[in-house]
Amino acid sequence: MEKKLLRFKLNGLEYEIFINPKTLLVDVIRDHIGFTGTKKGCESGSCGACTVMVEDMAVKSCSVLAMQVEGMNVTTVEGLEKNGKLSPIQEAFLDYGAFQCGFCTPGMLMSATALLKENEGKVLTEEEIREGIEGNICRCTGYNSIIRAIEAVSKGEYKEG
């Protein structure tokens, strides 16, 4: 199969790679580039473990052809911290115990980050937060600790910087 050139930005860095065009975004991120924070938990677009942000929008990277992000900005969990400093939502996840096995966590953090970005300056209701992470399955936590963590950030309890 003829390979195609894909150019996009991952966590702020420009990448140029040749791929089989059928390659899924998640596999480009994990296998071709080597950021393994993003996980996979199903083959049906159902679990959200592979959630990344494309242009600040949460998407399931297992359900996006990598070629489709040509020229776009993609952010994964590895892109949340800045020079070793965790982002507010990462800090909140630690304080609220919003993870257990941690396998859903990278995807969960990306859904949460996209939700918070979309609603910057607004205090989210519990309902809105629940809807915001509805696409992410967590088998361990029962979600409520995650809701509390997102709520805390939304209320401004954690400051960027």
Ligand X SMILES: Cc1cc2nc3c(=O)[nH]c(=O)nc-3n(C[C@H](O)[C@H](O)[C@H](O)COP(=O)(O)OP(=O)(O)OC[C@H]3O[C@@H](n4cnc5c(N)ncnc54)[C@H](O)[C@@H]3O)c2cc1C
Binding site for ligand X (CB under 6 A): 45-46
Q: Which amino acid is at 104?
A: C
We find the least distance from the C-beta atom of residue 129 to other proteins, in angstroms, to be 8
# residues near other proteins by CB under 8 A: 78
We find the least distance from the C-beta atom of residue 99 to ligand FES, in angstroms, to be 5
Q: Which residues contact 64 (CB under 8 A, 6 or more apart)?
A: 24, 25, 26, 54
Task: Please identify which residue in 7, 57, 122, 157 interacts with other proteins, judged by CB under 8 A.
Answer: 57
Task: Please identify which residue in 18, 82, 102, 122 interacts with other proteins, judged by CB under 8 A.
Answer: 102
In the window 110-149, what residues touch other proteins (CB under 8 A)?
Answer: 111, 114-115, 129-147
b (16+ CB within 10 A) / e for 110-130: bbbbbbbeeeeeeebeeebbe
- Interior CA angle at 37 toward 23 and 96, to 5°? 140
x/- mask, ligand FES, residues 8-27, rule CB under 6 A, reads: --------------------
Partner from ligand X, other proteins, ligand FES, none binding residue 32, C-beta < 5-8 Å depending on class = none
In the window 64-83, what residues touch other proteins (CB under 8 A)?
Answer: 64-65, 67-68, 70, 76-78, 80-81
Distance CA 70, CA 92 (A): 33
- Report the C-alpha dihedral over residues 116, 94, 139, 82, rounded to 10 degrees: 50
Distance CA 113, CA 144 (A): 17
Contact footprint for ligand FES (CB under 6 A): 40-42, 45-50, 60, 62, 99-105, 138-141
